[in-house]
Amino acid sequence: MHSEQDDGKRLAALALAALGVVYGDIGTSPLYAVKEVFAGNHPIPVTEANIFGSLSLFFWALIIIVSVKYVAFVMRADNRGEGGIMALIALALREAQGKPLQMKLVAGIGVLGAAMFYGDGMVTPAMSVLSAVEGIEVVTPALAKFVIPVTLVVLFLLFYLQSRGTAVVGAFFGPVMLIWFSVLALLGLYNLVGHPHVLHALNPLYGLTFLLDNKAMALVAMGNVVLAVTGAEALYADMGHFGRKPIQRAWFAFVLPALVLNYFGQGALVLENPEGVSNPFYLSAPDWGRVPLVALATLATVIASQAVISGAFSVTRQAIQLNFAPRMEVQHTSDKEVGQIYLPAVNWGLMAAVMLLVVGFRSSNNLAGAYGIAVTGDMVVTSLLACMVVAKVWKWGWTLAILLFSCFLAVELVFLFANILKIPDGGWFPLVAGMAVFVLMTTWRRGREVLAARLAGEQLELKPFLEALSYGMPQTVPGTAIYLNADPESVPHALLHSLKHYKVLHDKQILVSVRFFDVPYVPALDRVEVHCLSENFAQVIVQYGFKDEPDLPAALRMCKEYGLEIDDDEASYFLGRETLIPRVKSEMAFWREKLFIAMFRNASSATSFFKIPSNRVVELGTQVVL
């Protein structure tokens, strides 16, 4: 009994924490979703039929996309507890092993989804914070000129504080969002009291009738209805932090009812006062409550943006581990939570893009056009990859998997097509941003393959090399030499160059190969494999998952348990540093070669990535023609 109570308390605590991290994005959608349908750049007429039809579409989008697709199905497609687009890619790639064409297709679709995620990550903070700060116009129209400056200041502070970490602020996220969702529900009830018949729109027939009777207008409306489900991907992406059950419980018990009440409350307000469409969220509050509501909304949107930024850090690190992105500086902002990381390059790049969006688009109405297309693109990619996982990993077979996900895709493709109409109004931005990320990620992946092939052509096999040394060992000097070696079956380039230049070997050579697996974490028990190759040579295989934190010296200290003791003060790390030279008519287009070389030059060094002490490193250079 006591154990059950403890489990219940733990589940409640995790559900509260999930409110702050997982539901920030979808929880701030009421700020702008209804307004965009009736007062956006492509408004539909304010009639009772249109209000009922739109509210019905809002409700059933939340049920079909969020409740059924993500909460009931996609969240079960986890990679050892971890979710997100990268986890789906890893699962799908595992099933495609040995099928080159299928692997390329999976990698291409997956990277496209990840690229769309970055596009969404740029628009979300701009849209959310701007729509919250616009509340000051409702309070006092004279303050309208301060909306952009205040938004920029809030965003700058948000990105500036990223390096401090979210460990302290994170403790307040859950309670703040608990208040936020409570306020959403209360505002909805406050407006529903006078017009409870709006709840008839829960009937899906109202939505279907609206779609069938107003085909062109309905398509425009659908492009804005998708704003209600932005942030659904976060439920799956952040699953590893909290687990499936707390996220599911928070959604059904609290978040979904609060969102539905608020959307229907805004609908009741517009029904009673059609002029309320100018900003139905803030106008749904009594006059005395609007100033504190602006403050609370701004805080909620900052929290929502924080979740997106943290997600960008997380996805980038996973992309690095899965070899879709170059090494970057990764800083840990918490001694306890391994997931709390900070990537300076990603942080400042995102900040620049977000601020450009705010200055360029200047209002949430204009930004709404840029918002939906990245979200729907990401959702479609998730459905395609999840369909493969359900068919092959869950062993449901293609027929059942296609039947299930074609239902979701039917809705999502309508959303996508509706948002394609927004491309001239700003939808081009996340597409351009996403395509840029896609080109960068695929170029890096392909470039690494070409570079590996070039280096393989110059490699010597390890066994014959060791046999040759057994007949005539060069002069040795005291100490331990550690060589990083991508291919465990070959001789490290750095070892060959060292032998060529110095004509000596150390008393002990340790050849270290690092492997990254498509699982989130590798247990400490399996971290290292040690093989004795000869009296002077040992081989160590170090293994990491795509969410593990690489620390080579720490891993090598674990070799003591296997009879290989390494003295940190006596060890020298020999690393190869390649200088790449582009070549016309290579396997890659010449411009992509140049792009890859630029990325390669600016990648973080292996020294910092693997936490190797810089005063123990010797680098040996070589030129490689691509």
Domain 11-446 coded CATH 1.20.1740.10? yes
Given this model, what pLDDT does residue 179 score? 94
Classify strands 331-332 and 537-545 as parallel, antiparallel or unpaired: unpaired
Q: What is the pLDDT of residues 417-441, one digit of tens each?
A: 888 888 887 888 888 888 899 999 9
pLDDT band, residue 4 (cuts 50/70/90): low
Answer yes or no: are the C-beta atoms of 616 and 571 closer than 8 Å: yes
Answer yes or no: are the C-beta atoms of 476 and 507 closer than 8 Å: yes
Given this model, what pLDDT does residue 237 score? 78
Given this model, what pLDDT does residue 184 score? 96
pLDDT band, residue 296 (cuts 50/70/90): very high
Give yes or no for residue 277 having a pLDDT over 80: yes
In angstroms, the CA 242 to CA 145 distance is 41
Q: What is the pLDDT of residues 297-311, one digit of tens each?
A: 998 988 888 778 877
299, 305, 311, 317 alpha-carbon torsion, rounded to 10° = -110
Q: What is the pLDDT of residues 602-626, one digit of tens each?
A: 888 888 888 888 888 888 877 778 7
Given this model, what pLDDT does residue 339 score? 56
pLDDT over 90 for what percent of the chain?
Answer: 27
Flag the least confident range among 13-17, 410-414, 419-423, 570-574: 13-17
Given this model, what pLDDT does residue 511 score? 93
Given this model, what pLDDT does residue 3 score? 55
In angstroms, the CA 453 to CA 456 distance is 5
Flag the least confident range among 118-127, 367-376, 496-505, 560-569: 367-376
Long-range Cβ contacts of 398-405 (<8 Å, 24+ apart): 404/73
Answer yes or no: are the C-beta atoms of 58 and 228 closer than 8 Å: yes
Between the alpha carbon of residue 412 and those of residues 30, 50, 355, 401, 592, the distances in Å are: 20, 21, 29, 16, 33
Domain ranges of the chain: 11-446, 460-625
- Residue 558 CA, chain-centre distance (Å), reads 32
- Tokens 């060292």 correspond to 498
Amino acid at 1: M
361, 374, 590, 327 alpha-carbon torsion, rounded to 10° = 100
Most confident of 7-21, 48-62, 212-226, 577-591: 48-62
Q: What average pLDDT does this structure show over 34-50? A: 87
Answer yes or no: are the C-beta atoms of 308 and 128 closer than 8 Å: no
Q: What is the pLDDT of residues 258-269, one digit of tens each?
A: 999 999 999 999
pLDDT over 70 for what percent of the chain?
Answer: 96
State the angle between helix axes of 85-95 and 290-321 in degrees (0 to 180), rounded to the nearest 10: 30
Long-range Cβ contacts of 441-444 (<8 Å, 24+ apart): 441/111, 441/114, 441/115, 441/319, 441/324, 441/325, 442/108, 442/111, 443/588, 443/592, 443/595, 443/596, 443/599, 444/323, 444/324, 444/325, 444/326, 444/596, 444/599
Q: What average pLDDT does this structure show over 215-230? A: 84
Flag the least confident range among 153-157, 535-539, 545-549, 594-598: 545-549
Q: Is 284 helix (H, G, I), strand (E, B) or coil?
A: coil
Higher pLDDT, 476 or 17: 476
Q: What is the pLDDT of residues 99-156, one digit of tens each?
A: 888 888 888 888 888 888 888 888 888 888 998 888 888 888 888 888 899 999 999 9
What is the chain's mean pLDDT, rounded?
86
In angstroms, the CA 297 to CA 309 distance is 18
Residues 6+ apart with CB under 8 A from 325: 316, 319, 440, 441, 444
